[in-house]
Amino acid sequence: MTTAAYLARLGIDVPPPPTLETLVLLHQRHLERVPYENLAIMLGRPPSVDAVASLERIGELGRAGYCFHQNGALELVLRDLGFEVTRRHGHVWTDEWDRDGSFLNHLVLHVAGLPTTENPGGEWWVDVGLGDAFRDPVPLVAGEYRQGPFTYVVDEVRPDGWSFRHDATGSFTGVEVTTRPTEPADVLASHAELCVPGTGVFAKVLVVQRRHAGGCSTLRGCVLTQVDAYGKTRTELEDWEAWRAALGDLHLPLDDVEDDELRALHARMWDAHLVWKAEARA
């Protein structure tokens, strides 16, 4: 039932076969209809990283959370549809000194058994939890990959993992993927650290990202960033109505969120934005 509700959320009526075409379809539809976000965390109620709970949340609300939730749910669906899928340990980094870090801050999905002429090994990186990164599954073959306005690089494909470089416009620099542990206890421990109020990476500023065919739209705090074929634009959203409308444009469901909660979050994000601007000018 959870898989059926998930597929319905993506606009798919009949469970599709475990083919590459299906994998691409699921990947694209998920990113278009289930944005990457940390709304519940910013409202003080971090959602469970249990994969079944995440999958049910997508079917019922159309929201999931960040990578642990998004990829955890997709893993269940892929298994249910008959794909050969495993999870991998991921470490997203921005500064070079942090590139080889062992901290689990990203959950990666690896799908095998789908060979093509360009990818004879048939191994694919599937990831709906990287926010503004790739829209289609990426072949685990070293090289550059152009998707819309972005260029990505997969290099150092190793038996124990691979390295990834994001586009220069991206919100992070790269990802290191390894075979370090990704058991539920490991994910839960990392989730607890990432969501510590005020200090956790996902508890500092609201982030909502929607990767679509033309590029990516990101709301970070009160700044809306659009990256497409025409370049990159940034818009400050001081006005509550404009900010609320941006959440709707990002396809973020808000039926279970009180209006007062959203207004308070907007005010908090705008105050933090003003502090950031003042510090940048100092």
Tens-place pLDDT, residues 192-238: 999 999 899 999 999 999 999 999 999 999 999 999 999 999 999 99
Instruction: Indicate the helix (H) or strand (E) that contains 271.
Output: helix 259-281
Residue 100 is predicted with a pLDDT of: 84
Confirm if 207 and 222 have CB atoms less than 8 A apart: no
Quick one: three-class SS letters along 174-210? EEEEECCCCCHHHHHHHHHHHCCCCCCHHHCCCEEEE
Confirm if 231 and 167 have CB atoms less than 8 A apart: no
Q: Answer whether residue 246 shows pLDDT above 80.
A: yes
Distance CA 195, CA 82 (A): 33
Confirm if 20 and 117 have CB atoms less than 8 A apart: no
Distance CA 210, CA 135 (A): 10
Helix (H/G/I), strand (E/B), else coil: 5 = helix
Q: Answer whether residue 1 shows pLDDT above 80.
A: no
DSSP track, 14-55:
SPPPSSHHHHHHHHHHHHHHS-EE-HHHHTT-PPP--HHHHH
Distance CA 95, CA 130 (A): 17
Residue 198 is predicted with a pLDDT of: 87
Distance CA 103, CA 179 (A): 12
The pLDDT-based confidence of 22 (bands split at 50, 70, 90) is: very high
Mean pLDDT of the chain: 96
Q: Give tens-digit pLDDT for 64-99.
A: 999 999 999 999 999 999 999 999 999 999 999 899
Residue 101 is predicted with a pLDDT of: 82
Q: Answer whether residue 37 shows pLDDT above 90.
A: yes
Residue 180 is predicted with a pLDDT of: 97
DSSP track, 147-171:
ETTEEEEEEEEETTEEEEE--TTSS
Residue 263 is predicted with a pLDDT of: 98
Distance CA 175, CA 67 (A): 13
Catalogue the active-site residues: 67, 106, 127
Residue 176 is predicted with a pLDDT of: 97
Rg (CA), the chain: 18
pTM for this predicted structure: 0.96
Percent of the chain whose pLDDT exceeds 70: 100
Residue 156 is predicted with a pLDDT of: 87
Residue 243 is predicted with a pLDDT of: 98
**Which sign does the torsion angle of CA 248, 253, 259, 264 carry?**
negative
Q: Answer whether residue 282 shows pLDDT above 80.
A: no
Q: Which residues of 179-199 are buried (b: 16+ CB within 10 A; e: fewer)?
A: ebebeeeebeebbeebbeeee
Q: Both tokens of residue 228?
A: 């497409």
Residue 255 is predicted with a pLDDT of: 92
